[in-house]
Structure 1
C-alpha cells in the first residue's frame, strides 16, 4: 500500500484542530499564527506550565494531539469522520507489526498522562476526560494481550465484507480525484486481504481457529465480493463496480473520462481485488478442515481469562459470567410475567409457549412477501421516525442535527448480515446516519419486533445518541467519537422502553414486540455466558431460545451462532439498559417533584459515550446539582 509519512499526515489532518485547541485554551495565543512543523505536530511536547497554559488547556491539547495522531494512522477513521485527505485512496494497516506499534504508543500516552499532568489541578470536566482516557487506554492495553484470540473474519463481524461497504457508504465521489482514490483503494485491497490471510494463519498456529459453523458464511461472503459482472458472466452487476459506476456517472465530466475511469476500476477488480480475495479464500479453505468444533471460547488456550476480558470490554463493569447468567434468568422470568399479562389481555387461551407459537405465525405480524413487503417495511419505518421527531422536544432538551435514512441491507451481504444495525453520520452531518434492516426473507421479518427495533436503531436510539455526541461542544474529540458497547446499546434498548412512555406502541401486540425485544436481550445474558463459560453447545443455546422466546427458527439460529463468534458483545445491551434504568430511578427518588426527564437525558447523553462506572459518577453529579447540594 502507498504509505505517507506520519508527520505529513498529521500536518494535513491536525493543523486545524491543534490551532483550535491552543486558541480556545489559551487567550494569550489568540491572534498568533502558528506554523507547525511535521515534527511538532507529531510530538506536541510543548504542553508544560511554562507554555502559559492552564492545566486544563494543556490536557486538552494533549488529548487533541493523541486523537489526531490516531486518526492520521487510520484512513478508514478519516473516512468515517467525513475527511478527505491525502490518504483517501488507502486502507488501514492491519498487520501485527502495526498493532504492536499502536499498543506501544498507547502505553506511552498513558504514561505521559500520569506523569505530566496534575490531576488535583484540573477542573471537573477535565478530570472526567482524564478518567475516560485512562479507562480507554487501559482497555486497549488489556485487549492487546488477547489480540490473537480475536477472530479475524466471522459471519457477524468481518472486514472481508466490511471493506466494500466502506467504499459504498464512506467514499463519495464528487471529483475525478475522488474516483482515482477509489481505484487506488481497489488496487490496495490485495495487500489488505493478504494481511488478513496472514493473520488467520498466525492465529491457527496458536491454536485459535474460528468455530466450524462460521466458515461457510465467511467463504461465501468473500466470494460474493468478487462475483457479478464484469468479473463473471452473471446477470447481476458486481456490487463494488456498480457502486463505482453509479457515482462516476454523476460526475460533470466528459464521456471519455468516465469510460477511462470505469476501465481502470474494472482492471483493478479483475486484478488485485480478485487476487487478494482468492488468497484469503484459499487460506480460509485450508483451515476449514482444522475447525473441528463449535465450542465457546472456554476451549481456546487461556479461554477463561479471555472471556473475562470480553465481559469487561463490552460491559465496562467488573462482573462474573455467573452473575450475568443469573441476572439473565431473573429478567427472563420477569418479562415472561409481563408477556403473560398481554396474552390474557388479548384473550388468548393457552399457555405462554402456545402464545409464542401463535405470534410466530400470526399473519398480522408479517409484511407482504417480496419487494412489495420490503417497500412496505421501509415506508412504515420512515413514518415511525417522523412521528417520533415531532414530539422529541417533550423528552429531550437537545435534538439531533444529522439526518437519518432507512435502507435495506444490500442483497450481496444479506445472507450473513445482522437483523438490523446503524451506521453513524459523518462528524459534520454531511453524511446521514443510516438505519439498515435485513429484508432478505420477508416471511422471517416480524412486524411487532421491528416496530421496537426501528426506535432502537434510529430515534430515540442509536441515531439520536450518536448525533448528539458528535454535536457536543467543548469536549475532546476522543469523547465525542468514542464507543462503549454497554453505553450505546444500553441507551438504544432503553430507547425502546422510552418509546412506550412516548405513546408509540399503539396496540398490545406492538407492546408485546417491545417485550419480545427486551426478552431477546435478556436471553442473550443466559446464552452468551452459557456458551462461553458453562460449556453449552450451540444446540443448548438454540433450545433455550426456542423455549423462552417467540423468535423465528431462522433468527434463533443466527443469534446463537453470532454469540459463539463474538463473545461478550451480546451482554452489553441489557447490562447497559439496566444501569440507565437504575440511575433514572435513583434520580427520580432523590429529586422527587424536581425530577425532569429531559434533564436526566441531558446528563446521560451530555458527556458523550462513557463507561458505565463513569456514567454513574456523571449522573450522581447531576442529581447533586439538581438537589441543591
Structure 2
C-alpha cells in the first residue's frame, strides 16, 4: 500500500504542476497509476531477463547474463511478481477505460500464472535440446542474430555477457544433480541429443568457432587499436570461457547425467510431474481445459482431417492406401525439384509474391517492419524446424523466416510449403508480432509479450486462409496444408499421450507416421521436441480452433454487418493475450458492430 500512496503523490504533483486549480479525477489517477506500474514493471523485467530485452531490441542490458539457475534468482522473481500483483490490486479497476481494463486483466493473469509456476521443481531440469541458453548463445554470438555488433561498445558488451557463462553452467550442473537425487531427470533420448549440440562448440582453433564471426566481420570503421584489442579479447573468451564451458557441460551430461537419466519419456513419470504437466497445459493454452478433453478434441480432429486427405488422394487418382500415398509422395523425384538452398528460398519468395495481391482484402493493418527469408544456420539446422524470429520495433533488424535446408535435393514440395509460409511468415507470425510491437499505444508488456495459444493459434488459423489468399490451387499443396493441420491435431493426442497416458516415444513416432506424410527422422525430432517442451505443442490447434470459433460465431451473429478485414484487424490490434480474455474482448467488439 505504501508504494501505491507514493505513486499517488507523484501523480497529484504532476497534475497540480500543470494547473494548481485542477484536481485529478479518480479515473485519471487510476489510469496514471496503471501506466506507471506497467512502465516500472517493464524496466524491472528487462533488468531481470536481459536476454529477452536484447531479443526485443532493448539494448540497455546487452552486457548482462544473470545466473537464472539459482534459488536466489527464483526468489527474486517471486518477490517481483508478488509486488506488482499487489500494486495492481490496489488500483480501482472500475475507474479504468476499456483499454486499460484489458491491460489490467492481462497483467493480473500474467503475474498469477508466473507465481504459480515458481512453486514447481522444473528448475531441476535446467535445459534440454531446444531453446536452451547454450544454443541461444550460439545464435547471439555469430554476429548475425539479435545481439548487435555495430560499435566497440557492442563488442565489449558481448565479452562481458559470455564471461558469465561458466558460472551459469556450474549452477546448471548443480541443478541437474539435485534433480537426479529427486529422480526429476530428463529422458535419456533427449540427453543423447544435447551432448553433440554442446560438443559442436568445442574446437581447438578459435578462428573456426562460430563465436569468431564478429571478429571476422568487424566494422571497417573501428580503429586499429580497437581491432587489435578486440581480436585478442575474443580469442581469449572463446578459448577460456566458451569452449571449456561447452566441453564441461557435454562431458557432465555424457559421463555423469546420462546413466541417471530415465528410460521413460513423459513428464508424468517423474515425482510431481503430473502437476508440472497440468500447469504447462494451462500456461501454454491459456485455458483451464483438462488435458483429457484436449486429447479427445485431437482424436476428433484427426478423424476429420483424415477424411479430407482421402478426398485429395481420390482427386489425384491414387488407388492405394493413405499411408502408401504418403510414401509415394516422399519418394517421388517429381516433388524434389531443387538443387541448391537458394532455389528453395526462391520458391518461398514466389509464394510471397503470389499472396501479395490478395492481402488487402483480408487485412487493413500491414506491418512497417521489413521481412527476410533465410536459410537456418548450419550449426543448428539438424535439430531445427522452420521458424520466425521477430524483428525490432525500430526497424533496425528485420523479421526473419528461417528455413532449415540440410539437403536441397531432398526438400519435398508436398510437405506444405505454402501453408508453412502462411504460418511462419506472412500473414502469420510476421504480421501478428510486427503489428503488435509497432503499436506504441500498448504498454510494453503487451507490445513485446507473447502467449503461445494466441500467437501459434493465429499462425495456424492463417494456414486455413490459403484459398482466400490465392494458394492451394495445386492438390498437392492442398494436401500439404492438410498435412500441416493434421500435424497440429496429432500433437493434441501425442503431447497428452506422452506426458499423462503412458504413450512411449516409439508409439508416438508410429502414430505420427501412420496419420501424416512425415519421415521417421522428422517424426522423431517432433516427438523429442514435445518431450523437451511439455504442453507447447497444444497451443497451435487450441488457439486456431478458438479463432475459427469466434469468426464463425460473429459471421452468424452479424450477418451482412460482419467484416472479415475488421475482424482480423481487431484481433491483431490488441496483440497477444490469453484466450479467455481475447474471447471477452472480441465479444465486446462484435456487440459494437451491431
Q: TM-score, normalised by structure 2?
A: 0.93
Among 180, 202, 208, the residue aligned to 2:184:
208
Does the alignment pair 1:591 with 2:561?
Answer: no
C-alpha offsets along residues 123-145 of structure 1, whole Å, 9 cap, x if unaligned? Answer: 11111111101111111011111
Give 1:423's match in structure 2, choosing from 389, 394, 413. Answer: 389
Shift of 1:198: 2.4
1:239 to 187, 200, 210: 210
Structure 1 consecutive aligned stretches of length 4 or more whose deviation exceeds 4 Å: 25-32, 48-53
SS in 2 for 1:54: helix
Q: How far, CA to CA, are the matches of 2:502 and 2:479 in structure 1? A: 32
1:560-601 deviation per Cα after TM superposition (whole angstroms, max 9, x unaligned): 111122111100000000000000001111111111111100
Among residues 88, 92, 95, which one is paired with 2:66 in the alignment?
92
Task: State the partner residue of 1:156.
Answer: 130
Pick one of 615, 624, 629 that aligns with 2:582. Answer: 615
Measured in 1, the distance between the counterparts of 2:242 and 2:454 equals 37
User: Which residue of 1 is the match for residue 538 of structure 2?
Assistant: 571
Establish whether residue 435 from structure 1 lines up as the match of residue 405 from structure 2. no
Aligned partner of 2:568 in structure 1 is 601
**1:293 and 2:263 matched:** yes
Determine the C-alpha separation between the residues in 2 that align with 1:474 and 1:379. 37
Q: 2:163 is paired with a residue of what secondary structure? A: helix
Q: Which residue of 2 aligns with 1:36?
A: none
Contact 1:201 1:283 in 2 (8 A): no
Task: Determine if contact 2:56/2:393 at 8 Å carries over to the other structure.
Answer: yes
Distance 1:492 1:29, change over 3 A: farther
Shift of 1:541: 0.5
- Does residue 118 of structure 2 align to residue 144 of structure 1? yes
How much does 1:395 deviate? 1.0
CA pair 450-201 structure 1, distance change in 2 beyond 3 A: farther
> Aligned residue pairs: how many?
579
Structure 1 residue 50: deviation in Å? 9.4
1:51–1:175 distance in 2 versus 1, CA, 3 Å: farther
- Equivalent-residue separation in structure 2 for 1:539 and 1:438 (angstroms): 25
Cα distance change on mapping 1:29 and 1:621 into 2, 3 Å: farther
Unaligned runs of 5+ in 1: 1-17, 33-47, 232-236
SS at 1:354's partner residue?
helix
Contact 2:492 2:538 survives alignment (8 Å): yes
- Asked whether the equivalents of residues 200 and 284 of structure 1 are also in contact (C-alpha less than 8 Å), the reply is no
SS at match of 1:278: helix
Scaled by the length of structure 1, the TM-score of the pair is 0.88
Q: In the aligned structure 2, how far is the partner of 1:72 from the partner of 1:210?
A: 30
Within the candidate set 56, 62, 70, 2:37 is matched to 62
1:111 to 78, 86, 89: 86
CA distance in structure 1 between the partners assigned to 2:372 and 2:528 by the alignment: 29
Partners of 1:109 and 1:209 lie apart in 2 by: 33
Q: CA deviation at 1:184?
A: 2.2
CA drift at 1:356: 1.6
In the alignment, what sits opposite 1:268? Answer: 237
Structure 1 stretch displaced more, 482-491 or 470-479: 470-479
Aligned to 1:253: 222
Match of 1:495 in 2: 462
Q: Which residue of 1 aligns with 2:348?
A: 381
Mapped partners of 2:472, 2:333: distance in 1: 18
Find the counterpart in structure 1 of residue 141 from structure 2.
167
Give 1:102's match in structure 2, choosing from 77, 102, 121. Answer: 77
202 and 390 in structure 1: CA distance in 2 versus 1, 3 angstrom threshold: farther
Q: In the alignment, which residue of structure 2 is the partner of 1:513?
A: 480
Q: Is the 8 A contact 1:490 1:573 kept in 2?
A: yes
Q: Are the aligned partners of 1:79 and 1:171 in contact in 2 as well (CA < 8 Å)? A: yes
Distance 2:115 2:337 in 1: 47
User: Structure 1, residues 173-205: CA drift from partner, whole Å, max 9, x if none?
Assistant: 222222222222232222222232223223223
Give me the whole-angstrom Cα distance separating, in 2, the residues matched to 1:428 and 1:201: 43
Q: Any conservation in 2 of the 1:174–1:251 contact (CA below 8 Å)?
A: no
Unmatched tracts of structure 2, length 5 or more: 1-6
Structure 2 partner of 1:199? 175
Contact 2:370 2:398 in 1 (8 A): yes
- Aligned to 1:280, which of 238, 249, 252? 249
Q: Following TM superposition, by how much is the alpha carbon of 1:511 offset from its aligned partner in structure 2, in angstroms?
A: 0.9
Contact 2:369 2:399 in 1 (8 A): yes
Q: Secondary structure at the match of 1:498?
A: coil
How many angstroms does 1:351 deviate by? 2.3
3-state SS of paired residue (1:623) = helix
Residues of 1 paired with 2:550 and 2:580: CA distance? 11
Going from structure 1 to structure 2, the CA distance change for 1:227 and 1:384 (only over 3 Å counts) comes to farther
Task: Rate the CA distance shift 1:274–1:313 in 2: closer, same or farther, 3 A.
Answer: same
Contact 2:63 2:160 in 1 (8 A): yes
The answer to whether the 8 Å contact 2:512/2:523 transfers is: yes
Q: How far apart are residue 246 of structure 1 and its match?
A: 3.4
C-alpha distance 468-288 of structure 1, shift in aligned 2 (>3 A):
same
- Could you report, residue by residue, the CA deviation over 1:528-570 in whole angstroms, capped at 9, with x for unpaired residues? 1111111011111011111111111211111111112211110
